Amino acid sequence: MIKVGSEREITFCRELRYKRQKDYDIGEYEYTNYSFPQCGDKKVYKNFNFSIFLDDYCNADCKFCVAQLRYSHRQAMYIKPRIEDDMEYFKRLDKVLELIRPLNPSVSITGGEPSLSPKLKEVIRMIDDYGFRKRTITTNGSGLLNKIKGNESVIDQLIRYNWDHLNISRASENEELNLRIMRYHKEEEYCNNQMLKQIIDITNNSPLKHRLSCLLLKESVNSVDRIKEYLEFYRQMGVNNVIFRELMDFSKDAVNTEKIKYCIDNKIHLNDIWGTLEKDSEFIPYLNILGYYYYVEIYKYHEMIVASESADLNQQYVEKEKHKDMVYEMIFHPNGNLCGSWVDSEEILDGYK
């Protein structure tokens, strides 16, 4: 069986890049048998991630929004019903946390823009009460310096409640271009580079680790030279961890034509990038990882860790169809459903009534 998590062997196998999902076999990976109240017995991938989709509100309207594309891929409109009463929401979340705690997953909070959600403070405390082993929040950074308790900011609370990883989305080091791509509704809520520098300084002096996340786009970071420009800009700011992502492949019948067209027109293929990286002595291969619908290569660039990821939503559903008794990940949706899917009406493991 292939070891995962802290037991993973650190190796880089170039051939894995070309095998990818064609040779992926979930049977080689470790899993746990588990019984869910609603759907019964399932096999659960041992290193699965439990995601809390905290709120669908976002202060930006990114042209490449992954949350919306996951729904569009299933020919569904991005409309997320929710539990309106906060106390009822927390009660339901507590029940789900108790249900999955024996499986010891990593935990992440996403959205929407979670740093602006009034629920965030209570949710990060609840996660700490249950002692989950690895905790990550994905954000555009807008609300991280906002005060939510006395003199404490959102990022102060993340540190106090033992969060491990902070992922910040940033499409370009250039402010004007980043604003144009991510389309913030209110400029005062925008996480500019000056604010980002404060956040990086805080993380570099705390146990909370940061990582910038950048989509490869024809109109922005589109080559190894542009990757280096992005890295060098943020390296001077103290950033030490960055991931570059290829726009996901998806069903060509997907709804939301504006964002679908943007993704088609702006697609940069990582195979081309990787071919160039191989010839660049500044990038040292470190680790590559094959997942059930994604593939990741990790390099060392001076003192920085640089990851790169491609993903295919079509492959995700092909794999799930082949192994209907396997749970690869779990998502808690605003409507209270615990699902094995990012769509809140699919693969319901424990539904909210």
Mean pLDDT over 163-175 rounds to: 96
- Packing angle, helices 86-100 and 120-130, rounded to 10: 20
Q: How confident is the model at residue 258 (pLDDT cuts 50, 70, 90)?
A: confident
Q: Find out whether 83 and 353 touch, Cβ atoms under 8 Å.
A: no
- pLDDT > 70 fraction of the chain, expressed in percent and rounded: 89
Alpha carbons 303 and 331: distance in angstroms, whole number: 34
Q: Are strands 241-245 and 209-215 parallel, antiparallel or unpaired?
A: parallel
11-38 pLDDT, tens digit each: 888 888 887 656 678 888 889 999 998 8
DSSP symbols for 129-180? HHT-S-EEEEE-STTTTSEEETTEEHHHHHHHTT--EEEEE-S-SSHHHHHH
- Which of 146, 135, 140, 79 lies closest to 109, judged by CA? 135
Q: Mean pLDDT for the chain?
A: 89
For 42-99, the pLDDT digits (tens) are: 999 998 999 999 988 888 887 776 666 655 544 454 567 889 999 999 999 999 999 9
Residue-wise pLDDT tens digits, 91-150: 999 999 999 999 999 999 998 899 999 999 999 999 999 999 999 999 999 999 999 878
Q: Is the pLDDT of residue 264 over 50?
A: yes
Instruction: Give the pLDDT of residue 320.
Output: 83
From 221-225, 280-284, 349-353, the region with the lowest mean pLDDT: 349-353
pLDDT of residue 252: 57
Statement: residue 202 has pLDDT above 60: yes
The yes-or-no verdict on residue 180 having pLDDT over 80 is yes
pLDDT at 227 over 70: yes
The Cα–Cα gap between 67 and 187 comes to 22
**Interatomic CA distance for residues 4 and 298, integer angstroms:** 16
Residue 1 confidence (pLDDT) = 41
**248 near 67, Cβ under 8 Å?**
no
pLDDT at 275: 93
